Amino acid sequence: MAEQRSFDDRDGFIWFDGKLVPWREANVHILTHAMHYASSVFEGQRAYGGRIFKLREHSKRLRRSAELLGFDIPWSTEEIDAACGEVLEANGLTEAYLRPVSWRGSESMGVSPKGTKPHLAIAAWNWGKYYPPEKAAAGIRLDIAPWRRPAPYTAPVHSKAAGLYMIASLSKQQADARGFDDALMFDWRGQVAEATGANAFFVRDGVLHTPTPDCFLDGITRRTVIDLARKRGIPVEERAIWPEELESFEQFFITGSAAEVTPVQSAGPWRFEVGELSRQLARDYDDLVNGRQA
C-alpha cells in the first residue's frame, strides 16, 4: 500500500480568503486563535461527477456553525458555493472530497477572540470510499467510545465546530488501537448518540430507528437517508435510544458525507446482520448522489 502524501505537501490549489493560492502556500500563523482556542468550524462534502452533493445545505451550515461560535464568515452562501466550484475546476477534479474551513485569525491572543479576523479556506482532493467496498459489504466493527457527547447547555452542539471533534478523535484513536473501525458514542445521559463522525440508524421489524439529534449534528446525509426511507414507505422513528435496546435491533448502519451509508456488523458486545434494508438504502443513496434518481 502506497504511503499517503502529507496534506501540506501536495500539488494543486486551495481557495484562501477570496483567491486561489498554490496548495503549499495555504498557511496560517502559529499564533492563530483557532489553533489555541478551537475557534474554527468546517464542512465535509463530496463531489460526484463534478457536482457537489447538497452544496447549498453545506454552505448554509458552515455559516450557521460560525454564528453559533460568535463570528460571521465574510462571504455569502452563494459566494461559498461558487468558491467550492472554483476549487474543483482549478484542481481538475470531478470525484472529490471538499473541506471548507473557517477560523479566527492571529490578530490577538487570549481566550477572548476580540479583534480577530475571520478567515475561510476551501480544499479539495481525490478521495475514494471511506471504507473499502469489501469491508463495507461485510459491515464495520465499532468499539464503544470512552467519551460522551456533551449536553446542549455545555457546548454549541449544533455547530460543526472543530473543538467538538476532540472527543471524537480520541475515541477513534482508541478504536484504531484496539483493532476496530470506529466507535459508537453515547451522550451525557447515557443514551446512544452517533459514531465519531457519522449518524446512527437501527432496523427492527422493518422500521428505522435513529437517535434524536438534540446534542449532536442532524447530519445532511442523515436527513437525506430519512427522506429516501420514507419514499420507500419505510417508517422512521427519531427518538431516545438506550444501550439496553441495542440487542433487540437486527441491523445497524451509519451515515455521513464521508462514510455515505455503511452497514455495521458489531458495536461493542452487540451484533447485527448486514440486511437487505441497509443494503437497499445504501444503493438508493449511491444512485441519488450519482444522479441516477431524482
Number of H helices, E strands in the chain: 7, 16
SS3 192: strand
Tell me how far apart the alpha carbons of residues 16 and 83 are, in angstroms, rounded to a whole number. 9
Which position among 19, 114, 160, 231 bears the catalytic label? 160
Whether 60 is catalytic: no
Q: Cβ neighbours of residue 233 under 8 Å, at least 6 residues apart?
A: none
Q: Dihedral of CA 171/177/178/179: which sign?
A: positive
**Does residue 18 contact residue 119 with C-beta atoms inside 8 Å?**
no
C-alpha 95 chain-centroid distance = 17
Q: Pairing mode, if any, of strands 199-204 and 251-256?
A: antiparallel
Q: DSSP of 228-284, one letter per residue?
A: HHHHTT--EEEE---GGGGGG-SEEEEEETTTEEEEEEEETTEE----HHHHHHHHH
Tell me how far apart the alpha carbons of residues 57 and 223 are, in angstroms, rounded to a whole number. 11
**Does residue 285 contact residue 291 with C-beta atoms inside 8 Å?**
no
Tell me how far apart the alpha carbons of residues 162 and 278 are, in angstroms, rounded to a whole number. 30
Query: How far is CA 269 from each of CA 28, 143, 184, rounded to the nearest angstrom?
Result: 44, 9, 12
Residues annotated as part of the active site: 160
